[in-house]
Structure 1
Amino acid sequence: MSTTEQSSYDFTNADFDAVYTGGDFLPGAGIEGVPWDIGQAQPEVVEMERLGRFTGEVLDIGCGPGDNAVFLAGRGHAVTAIDAAPAAIALARQRARGLDVTFDVADATELEGYDDRFDSVLDSALFHTLGEEGRRHCVRALHRVTRPGGRLSMLCFADVPGGMPAPLSVSENEVRSVLDEAGWEITYLSSSVFLGLPGPVRGFFEKVGSSPELDERGHTRLPVWRVFADRRSA
């Protein structure tokens, strides 16, 4: 598939609510089901927690089915997890039964009502779905809702060979510039992997001519940027 054809998919119009209820995620893209629902926390999030990235009040944006939030709460963290898809939040609440996690339906590009509330933020694969303007609005909103000394830990699809096609991937330069403009100082940026389920995206990968690497359990291993950033004072 040509670059022009790949770019015809406007992921900012993806229906994240429909994908959890058997609907059409993005017309013509061939994505059927929830490819990011691996039924456990992302290994990179587990590693972030081991490194001490999450302290105080934690915000998980774009939490999806809630496995990362459930893991963090299970480790004793105070977690608020949001997603714009009501169906995702309903599923996350089911998985978090018995744990003290606050789930809300909310727009990560606005985050109204959360000002000066959080010490740590997790973005596990939301940033790249928002489009150019949405990404800027999101990280500005995150700056507003975090306290002085707040920290952001992020995974986003990397614009590298073997990665997701444009526009569902982000260059290192864009990551750096968008965060810097919004008042975030990147302290660490490296390449890593994000695990997914191959079945729901088999048709999409065929359309874009991609053959992602699989791990020993059959998960797709998609290249991402692992980004750590500190909140600068306004």
Structure 2
Amino acid sequence: MDTSIPRDDFERAYAEGAPPWVIGEPQPALVELERAGHVSGSVLDAGCGSGENTILLAELGYEVLGVDGSETAVATARRKAAEHGAPARFEVADVLDLGARPRFDTVVDSALLHVFGERDRLVYTRSLHALCHPGAVLHVLVLADTQDAGGPRLSAAAVRGSFAPGWELEELRQDRYRGIAGEQHAEQLGVRPGEAVDTAAWLARARRL
């Protein structure tokens, strides 16, 4: 993907109804990462959307901040956190310019990196680098080009090339991403439109040097 998806497209998607990436529960890949002990310290959920991942981590006792460029998404996330009684915090923010004060030990990105073009992917990982303590870990779940199932999808090479200097890519492996099947791809995926379905993804782990 050479160009970034316009930010207004995401605000419109949230305002018009539930986007296909809103599944009403945390991403299974993130749940497994936490269970395996790969989340620690203060956590940033970059591109938190409607907040399910952030809320889960807050309920598990992490100090976690969810950020998103969509005001509607953040308002929805705050409402859901209040309904859960979860101490999750949310902010509207530009993930390409998050500031320069290191304060996070773990960053989780569930399907954000792949919405950016090649240049902005590097800007994004530089922005995260500035917010992370040395030794912090970044987990990125990205839709993979190994399956045609909708959404922007990246090759393994494109994922590798997305990490700006100052990051060491420790692992890149195949995983699954859960979304809601749209009309166009539901039949080829063997599900009905509107049904949750897992599709091919890359899961990357990078360490802040």
What is the TM-score when the length of structure 2 is the normalising length? 0.89
Matches of 1:220 and 1:102 in 2, distance apart? 29
Secondary structure (helix, strand or coil) at the match of 1:35 reads coil
Q: Look up the match of 1:219.
A: 196
Are 2:47 and 2:68, in contact at CA under 8 Å, matched by a contact in 1?
Answer: yes
Are 2:49 and 2:74, in contact at CA under 8 Å, matched by a contact in 1?
Answer: yes
Distance 1:78-1:202 versus aligned 2 partners, 3 A rule: same
Query: Counterpart amino acid of 1:176?
Result: R
Match of 2:42 among 57, 61, 68: 57
Are 1:73 and 1:101, in contact at CA under 8 Å, matched by a contact in 2?
Answer: yes
Q: Look up the match of 2:154.
A: 170
- Root-mean-square deviation (CA), in Å? 2.4
Q: List structure 1 segments (4+ residues) > 4 angstroms apart after TM superposition.
A: 7-10
Matches of 1:212 and 1:182 in 2, distance apart? 38
Cα offset for 1:192? 1.0
Query: Counterpart amino acid of 2:175?
Result: S
What is the TM-score when the length of structure 1 is the normalising length? 0.80
Cα offset for 1:159? 1.6
Cα offset for 1:161? 3.6
Secondary structure (helix, strand or coil) at the match of 2:162 reads helix
CA offset digits 1:109-164 (Å, max 9, x no partner): 1112x521111000000000122221111101111100011000110111214454
Are 1:213 and 1:222, in contact at CA under 8 Å, matched by a contact in 2?
Answer: no
Query: Counterpart amino acid of 1:183?
Result: G
Q: Look up the match of 1:28.
A: none
Matches of 2:191 and 2:206 in 1, distance apart? 29
Q: Look up the match of 2:112.
A: 126
Cα offset for 1:14? 5.5
Cα offset for 1:10? 6.7
Cα offset for 1:100? 1.4
Matches of 2:190 and 2:66 in 1, distance apart? 30
Matches of 2:55 and 2:37 in 1, distance apart? 17
Greater Rg over alpha carbons, structure = 1
Match of 2:30 among 25, 30, 45: 45
Cα offset for 1:220? 2.0
1:228 aligns with 2:209: no
Aligned pairs for 1:135-214 (under 5 A) are: 135-164=121-150, 168-179=152-163, 181-198=164-181, 201-203=182-184, 205=185, 211-212=188-189, 214=191
Cα offset for 1:178? 2.0
Matches of 1:183 and 1:213 in 2, distance apart? 42
Distance 1:213-1:55 versus aligned 2 partners, 3 A rule: farther
- Identical-residue share of aligned pairs (%): 34
Distance 1:184-1:163 versus aligned 2 partners, 3 A rule: farther
Query: Counterpart amino acid of 1:47?
Result: E
Secondary structure (helix, strand or coil) at the match of 2:10 reads coil
Distance 1:131-1:77 versus aligned 2 partners, 3 A rule: same
Gaps of 5+ in 2: none
